[in-house]
Amino acid sequence: MVTLPDRILMSAEEYLVWEPTQEERYEYWDGEVVAMSGGTRNHNRVCLNFFKLLDDALADVYDGLRLRTCEVYIVDVKMQVEPGQKYFYPDVVVTCDERDTDPQLIQFPCLIIEVLSPSTEAADRGKKFAKYRQSSTLQEYVLVQVAQPVVEVFRRNEQGKWVLSEYNLGDILRLESVDVKIAIANLYRQVQFETEATEN
Protein backbone atom coordinates (compact mmCIF):
# COMPACT_ATOMS: atom_id res chain seq x y z
CA MET A 1 0.00 0.00 0.00
CA VAL A 2 1.29 3.44 -0.95
CA THR A 3 1.73 5.89 1.93
CA LEU A 4 0.04 9.18 1.18
CA PRO A 5 0.76 12.55 2.80
CA ASP A 6 -1.52 13.79 5.59
CA ARG A 7 -2.98 16.44 3.30
CA ILE A 8 -3.48 15.93 -0.42
CA LEU A 9 -4.23 19.06 -2.41
CA MET A 10 -5.28 19.06 -6.06
CA SER A 11 -7.73 20.64 -8.45
CA ALA A 12 -11.17 19.13 -8.97
CA GLU A 13 -10.18 18.10 -12.49
CA GLU A 14 -7.12 16.26 -11.15
CA TYR A 15 -9.21 14.63 -8.40
CA LEU A 16 -11.82 13.32 -10.85
CA VAL A 17 -9.08 11.65 -12.92
CA TRP A 18 -6.96 10.44 -9.97
CA GLU A 19 -9.60 9.17 -7.52
CA PRO A 20 -11.12 6.34 -9.63
CA THR A 21 -7.65 4.79 -9.94
CA GLN A 22 -7.20 4.48 -6.16
CA GLU A 23 -7.87 1.39 -4.05
CA GLU A 24 -9.45 3.49 -1.29
CA ARG A 25 -12.22 6.07 -1.65
CA TYR A 26 -11.59 9.78 -1.24
CA GLU A 27 -13.98 12.70 -0.96
CA TYR A 28 -13.12 16.19 -2.19
CA TRP A 29 -13.50 19.31 -0.07
CA ASP A 30 -12.52 22.64 -1.69
CA GLY A 31 -9.19 21.46 -3.08
CA GLU A 32 -8.38 18.92 -0.36
CA VAL A 33 -8.68 15.18 -0.83
CA VAL A 34 -10.06 13.40 2.26
CA ALA A 35 -9.76 9.63 2.81
CA MET A 36 -12.97 7.80 3.70
CA SER A 37 -12.95 5.85 6.95
CA GLY A 38 -13.91 2.17 7.07
CA GLY A 39 -17.23 1.06 8.52
CA THR A 40 -18.32 -1.64 10.95
CA ARG A 41 -20.26 -4.80 10.10
CA ASN A 42 -23.45 -3.22 11.48
CA HIS A 43 -22.87 -0.09 9.37
CA ASN A 44 -22.37 -2.25 6.29
CA ARG A 45 -25.46 -4.36 7.06
CA VAL A 46 -27.74 -1.31 7.46
CA CYS A 47 -26.43 0.18 4.18
CA LEU A 48 -27.06 -3.11 2.36
CA ASN A 49 -30.54 -3.52 3.90
CA PHE A 50 -31.55 0.01 2.91
CA PHE A 51 -30.16 -0.42 -0.61
CA LYS A 52 -31.89 -3.76 -1.16
CA LEU A 53 -35.26 -2.61 0.17
CA LEU A 54 -35.18 0.52 -2.00
CA ASP A 55 -33.86 -1.26 -5.08
CA ASP A 56 -36.54 -3.96 -4.84
CA ALA A 57 -39.30 -1.39 -4.29
CA LEU A 58 -38.21 0.82 -7.19
CA ALA A 59 -37.62 -1.93 -9.75
CA ASP A 60 -40.03 -1.57 -12.69
CA VAL A 61 -42.33 0.92 -10.93
CA TYR A 62 -44.89 2.52 -13.20
CA ASP A 63 -45.86 6.16 -12.67
CA GLY A 64 -49.20 6.32 -14.49
CA LEU A 65 -48.60 4.73 -17.88
CA ARG A 66 -44.85 5.04 -18.18
CA LEU A 67 -42.00 3.29 -16.41
CA ARG A 68 -40.46 5.49 -13.73
CA THR A 69 -36.72 5.07 -13.77
CA CYS A 70 -35.22 5.66 -10.35
CA GLU A 71 -31.74 4.36 -9.71
CA VAL A 72 -30.31 3.44 -6.30
CA TYR A 73 -26.57 3.47 -5.64
CA ILE A 74 -24.57 2.39 -2.62
CA VAL A 75 -21.24 3.45 -1.15
CA ASP A 76 -19.01 3.50 -4.26
CA VAL A 77 -20.81 6.13 -6.36
CA LYS A 78 -19.87 9.70 -5.59
CA MET A 79 -22.10 12.75 -5.71
CA GLN A 80 -21.21 16.12 -7.13
CA VAL A 81 -22.34 18.39 -4.32
CA GLU A 82 -20.78 21.59 -5.63
CA PRO A 83 -19.18 21.51 -9.11
CA GLY A 84 -15.41 21.88 -8.90
CA GLN A 85 -15.56 22.20 -5.09
CA LYS A 86 -17.17 19.25 -3.30
CA TYR A 87 -17.63 15.57 -4.17
CA PHE A 88 -19.00 13.23 -1.47
CA TYR A 89 -19.76 9.52 -1.15
CA PRO A 90 -23.23 9.07 0.42
CA ASP A 91 -23.95 5.63 1.90
CA VAL A 92 -27.05 5.32 -0.31
CA VAL A 93 -28.30 7.76 -2.94
CA VAL A 94 -31.33 7.72 -5.26
CA THR A 95 -31.79 9.68 -8.45
CA CYS A 96 -34.93 9.75 -10.58
CA ASP A 97 -33.62 12.55 -12.81
CA GLU A 98 -33.04 11.87 -16.50
CA ARG A 99 -30.18 14.40 -16.49
CA ASP A 100 -28.07 12.04 -14.35
CA THR A 101 -26.10 10.46 -17.19
CA ASP A 102 -22.49 10.75 -15.97
CA PRO A 103 -21.12 7.21 -15.38
CA GLN A 104 -18.95 8.31 -12.43
CA LEU A 105 -21.18 10.54 -10.34
CA ILE A 106 -24.69 11.64 -9.35
CA GLN A 107 -25.65 15.28 -9.76
CA PHE A 108 -29.44 15.34 -9.21
CA PRO A 109 -30.38 13.20 -6.17
CA CYS A 110 -33.87 13.11 -4.70
CA LEU A 111 -32.92 11.01 -1.64
CA ILE A 112 -29.66 10.68 0.32
CA ILE A 113 -29.10 8.25 3.19
CA GLU A 114 -26.18 8.41 5.60
CA VAL A 115 -25.63 5.62 8.12
CA LEU A 116 -24.03 7.24 11.14
CA SER A 117 -20.79 6.20 12.78
CA PRO A 118 -18.86 7.96 15.58
CA SER A 119 -16.23 9.23 13.12
CA THR A 120 -18.72 10.67 10.60
CA GLU A 121 -21.81 11.69 12.60
CA ALA A 122 -20.78 15.30 13.22
CA ALA A 123 -20.00 15.88 9.53
CA ASP A 124 -23.12 14.04 8.33
CA ARG A 125 -25.36 16.14 10.60
CA GLY A 126 -23.48 19.39 10.09
CA LYS A 127 -21.37 20.48 7.15
CA LYS A 128 -22.41 17.68 4.79
CA PHE A 129 -26.12 18.27 5.35
CA ALA A 130 -25.57 22.02 4.91
CA LYS A 131 -24.07 21.33 1.48
CA TYR A 132 -26.59 18.64 0.50
CA ARG A 133 -29.45 21.09 1.25
CA GLN A 134 -28.19 23.30 -1.59
CA SER A 135 -29.26 20.65 -4.11
CA SER A 136 -32.49 21.80 -5.74
CA THR A 137 -33.55 18.21 -6.47
CA LEU A 138 -32.96 16.75 -2.98
CA GLN A 139 -36.27 16.10 -1.20
CA GLU A 140 -35.25 13.87 1.73
CA TYR A 141 -32.12 13.37 3.81
CA VAL A 142 -32.08 10.29 6.06
CA LEU A 143 -29.76 9.69 9.02
CA VAL A 144 -29.70 6.13 10.34
CA GLN A 145 -28.24 5.34 13.76
CA VAL A 146 -26.49 2.02 14.24
CA ALA A 147 -26.03 1.98 18.03
CA GLN A 148 -29.82 2.01 18.47
CA PRO A 149 -32.80 1.65 16.10
CA VAL A 150 -33.52 5.30 15.35
CA VAL A 151 -34.01 6.84 11.90
CA GLU A 152 -34.23 10.60 11.37
CA VAL A 153 -35.72 11.94 8.14
CA PHE A 154 -35.37 15.55 7.06
CA ARG A 155 -37.95 16.45 4.38
CA ARG A 156 -38.14 19.61 2.32
CA ASN A 157 -41.69 20.98 2.64
CA GLU A 158 -43.61 23.11 0.14
CA GLN A 159 -42.10 26.27 1.64
CA GLY A 160 -38.58 24.90 1.10
CA LYS A 161 -38.00 24.37 4.83
CA TRP A 162 -36.50 21.13 6.17
CA VAL A 163 -38.75 19.32 8.66
CA LEU A 164 -37.52 16.51 10.92
CA SER A 165 -39.45 13.27 11.57
CA GLU A 166 -38.12 10.48 13.79
CA TYR A 167 -38.87 6.75 13.48
CA ASN A 168 -38.25 3.87 15.88
CA LEU A 169 -38.16 0.07 15.64
CA GLY A 170 -41.92 -0.56 15.38
CA ASP A 171 -42.59 2.24 12.87
CA ILE A 172 -43.15 2.26 9.13
CA LEU A 173 -41.07 4.82 7.25
CA ARG A 174 -42.63 6.37 4.16
CA LEU A 175 -40.07 7.93 1.87
CA GLU A 176 -42.13 10.56 0.07
CA SER A 177 -39.40 11.35 -2.47
CA VAL A 178 -39.75 7.90 -4.04
CA ASP A 179 -43.14 6.84 -2.61
CA VAL A 180 -41.76 3.78 -0.82
CA LYS A 181 -42.76 2.38 2.58
CA ILE A 182 -40.18 0.50 4.66
CA ALA A 183 -40.56 -1.15 8.06
CA ILE A 184 -37.82 0.20 10.32
CA ALA A 185 -37.33 -3.34 11.68
CA ASN A 186 -36.32 -4.46 8.17
CA LEU A 187 -33.59 -1.83 8.01
CA TYR A 188 -32.01 -3.37 11.10
CA ARG A 189 -32.29 -7.01 10.01
CA GLN A 190 -29.23 -8.97 11.25
CA VAL A 191 -27.94 -5.96 13.19
CA GLN A 192 -26.77 -6.61 16.75
CA PHE A 193 -27.11 -3.50 18.88
CA GLU A 194 -24.37 -2.56 21.32
CA THR A 195 -26.54 -3.19 24.39
CA GLU A 196 -27.28 -6.72 23.13
CA ALA A 197 -23.58 -7.35 22.50
CA THR A 198 -22.61 -6.31 26.03
CA GLU A 199 -25.32 -8.41 27.66
CA ASN A 200 -24.14 -11.63 25.97
For each of the domains in the chain, give its residue range(s) and CATH number, in order of start.
40-199 (3.90.1570.10)
35-91 confidence digits (pLDDT tens): 887 778 899 999 999 999 999 998 865 555 445 589 999 978 899 998 889 999 999
Task: Specify which residues 167 forms β-bridges with.
Answer: 151
Task: Assign 153 to helix, strand or coil.
Answer: strand
Q: Tell me if the pTM is above 0.85.
A: yes
pLDDT of residue 68: 58
Given a contact cutoff of 8 angstroms between Cβ atoms, the answer to whether 178 and 164 are in contact is no
Given a contact cutoff of 8 angstroms between Cβ atoms, the answer to whether 142 and 126 are in contact is no
Percent of the chain with pLDDT strictly greater than 70: 88
**What is the pairing mode between strands 86-88 and 78-82?**
antiparallel
